[in-house]
Structure 1
């Protein structure tokens, strides 16, 4: 039994011409990978197939004995309004096509069309249905209890609402076969998200990760597609590519923003045609893996600058998961810190240190350019020198103080004052700055003084003058 059926629902093809049934079934599998097909040569069986199957798309011949497509179309639309019906006729008649569309048909095609063109058009109907199903699933997940998450997300420590929205979205698209683009700054955990996608999906194969940064065009082809024996000097044996190793599973292409334009063409062809050629081979192989791409770069800007193909960008971004930076997930900092300190304590065989109250305030006012990866490094470094009792803040202060400009440049630049507003006096501006520092430090003068870059006595004096 074939467990790798695509799409997740069935496509019913009804035509009294059995040779056309075979040819159209072969064509849509050849060009689009559609193999979840039910063939029907007797139009009287159509309604029973619809009642008993998981059918979302029907390809219906217009002229058939017993019951014609003209008669079946309104019945299908009335009883199964969610099904997309595509009329495929042997006659090119404008009046007939218009009438079918009015009755509710999704599209109308002539059998004499090129098989590839007809298959691509049918693929559009499949994607339309997939998006409908995903939207329904999304609405359902949003109404469910936030705690009812797949166990795969237990490895991603977060109580942030943006992250939980992403988890819900991932569950809703888990069984789609379309590519997924994961974006987010370096260190936010894009690979963890890819692993969660893999675990929530019904894929039977592995998650295979490939970092494409630094791969030239030849190495990219060899890495992904593999090669046959004798393809080039030194190719003493045939080698499977990563696509084949990910068969039945997921292929993660990390750092996709660094892919060369020449390799982008090959990746686009792979996504469009669903097949590839191992280096040195004239025999194509079909891809049987889902593609996930990840990047910390702004692909939209690269697209606008001509550094990333427009068509590939939209192919990869059919589903998009964006992971917010740690500075936008301040409520997660305490949980992550405790988790990393526990891991570090186990690794260094030490007692777990308690967290100073002021440390969390300090960390919540830091921009974390390295995101979660940077927080992990801080925790491990602090535990490496920890002796007993409360954790020293020295390691954290040292790292943050060594990067004085990061806080300024990590956030998007915007004017401090509107051009039309009246400038405050220096004293007023200083007072406002002191108040904001005290607010961010939860009234801790030592931390507020550090945020302002002045001594604690100097801050104390300013606070007295403000009273």
Structure 2
């Protein structure tokens, strides 16, 4: 196995037996963990840690001068951020329980099993990484700040939900663990992925692969490349996109469309950081950061045996779910203004001013295509626009879909809602009083335009006209 955790600070081995130190160091180095330091005198441990930061401590419990059992509570108290794996020749369950209760991350016995040691180190480093991210995230949320707001400039929003996502991204961006990005079509999953890539600190390329429509052969060739003669027409070797992303980020979109064989190959890539080019028996390694995205519910695909559960758990080390536009309607006015600006420049037209009914109707529209749909809708409207206010007449698609696309979320009955109704009307209103209020508000919002007001109310224009003509 190869450890999946990359770290800059060394692992510290503390043992009075030089043979154990040598064997442990060799085992770790054989698995690619070369950043290891050793200490044979337990009396020097605390002083060493005060001036030498490390990522993890592997501590022998039985040592002369100061035992590991004596040192463990001191380490947990003074260096709580450091995971400690205890190691001893005493295979005693009571000792293991005492160590874990005292704060040790794990417990291994001598003679040391190399595989067990490596698994314990990987687990401890993963826990430490997630713990650090959680601490940083709490700090970000409490301070409500962004360290690198420029990374999110492509995403126009005032939504608190989106800001929380941005804060989370800043915390996990430098992690080497995969990131699963979910959300409906058009919410901006690739923009989120690019922000992670920008903040990751990786200098390599950001490479995008769309898995939709790729069979296993195409997936393997696209991602891993092939050797010369691997198949008919393979006249020369070709590097895959995973090699293009070396030292950078690979963004795999539409991950839910992968077939089973491709899922197995992706799982190996994540677990081992290794792959085989098509037709080759020579293994290659990669250091590319993997980001994946889907608009499908992977848990439902797992339930129907269309997606591997083990792959899902590997992918969602970090999970970002982007809310649909219908759950952050406060973004619609600023997105409308942003797209009007872009469209007017693109089409070489003066930026139009939207009418009140346009803003009102868009604020209640469902937007099944989310931000992408609003973008297309505004560009089409500006193309149709000539002079004056930008009215509903320019939004041709809006009229065609209005009966099925208006989606005003009604609040659930509650004591607070009942009290607000009483406060607003001075008493509990009749249905007619509520109707009169809604019609009056819709007419005010649309400056008296009956067709627009009827669209807001979800009724036919003729019905509204009749209601206005016969208010009784």
Contact 1:6 1:35 in 2 (8 A): no
Question: Aligned residue for 2:13?
Answer: 13
Distance 1:231 1:89 in 2: 52
1:274 to 1:346, Cα distance in 2 relative to 1, 3 A: same
Can you list the C-alpha shifts for 1:21-41, whole angstroms capped at 9, x where unaligned?
56545644665x655543445
Q: Please report how far the alpha carbon of residue 392 of structure 1 lies from its aligned counterpart in structure 2 after TM superposition.
A: 3.9
Q: Does 1:132 align with 2:131?
A: yes
How far residue 139 of structure 1 moved from its aligned partner, in angstroms, is: 0.9
1:242-391 alignment to 2 at 5 Å?
Answer: 242-391=241-390
CA distance in 2, matches of 1:194, 1:458: 48
Change (3 A) 1:450 1:75: closer
Shift of 1:231: 3.1
Q: Which residue of 2 aligns with 1:234?
A: 233
1:399 has 2:404 as partner: no
Q: Which residue of 1 aligns with 2:141?
A: 142
- Aligned 8 A contact 1:212 1:255 in 2: yes
Shift of 1:431: 7.8
1-structure distance, mates of 2:145, 2:115: 44
Write out aligned runs for 1:413-424 (5 A).
none
2:401 counterpart SS class: coil
Alignment deviations for residues 321-369 of structure 1 (CA, whole Å, 9 cap, x no partner)? 1111112221111211221122222222222112212111111111011
Alpha-carbon deviation of 1:114? 4.5
Q: 5+ residue gaps in structure 2?
A: 414-429
Aligned ranges 1:64-79 → 2 under 5 Å: 64=63, 67-79=66-78
Could you say what secondary structure the match of 1:195 adopts? helix
Residues 109-128 of structure 1 aligned to structure 2 (within 5 Å): 109-112=108-111, 114-128=113-127
Q: Distance in 1 between matches of 2:310 and 2:25?
A: 28
Q: CA RMSD in A?
A: 3.2
The separation in 1 between residues aligned to 2:45 and 2:297, in whole angstroms, is 49
Distance 2:182 2:316 in 1: 10
Q: TM-score, normalised by structure 2?
A: 0.84
What runs of 5+ residues in structure 1 fail to find an aligned partner? Answer: 417-427
Could you state the TM-score of these two structures normalised by the residue count of structure 1? 0.85
Deviation (angstroms), 1:60: 1.9
The aligned length equals 450
8 Å contact 2:228–2:236 — kept in the other structure? yes
- Which residue number corresponds to residue 420 of structure 2? none
Change (3 A) 1:41 1:406: farther
Partner of 2:59: 60
Judged with a 3 Å threshold, the aligned counterparts in structure 2 of structure 1 residues 232 and 54 are, in CA distance, closer, same or farther, namely farther
For 1:48 and 1:362, the matched residues in 2 are separated by: 67
Displacement of 1:186 in angstroms is 0.4
Q: Is the 8 A contact 2:385 2:394 kept in 1?
A: no
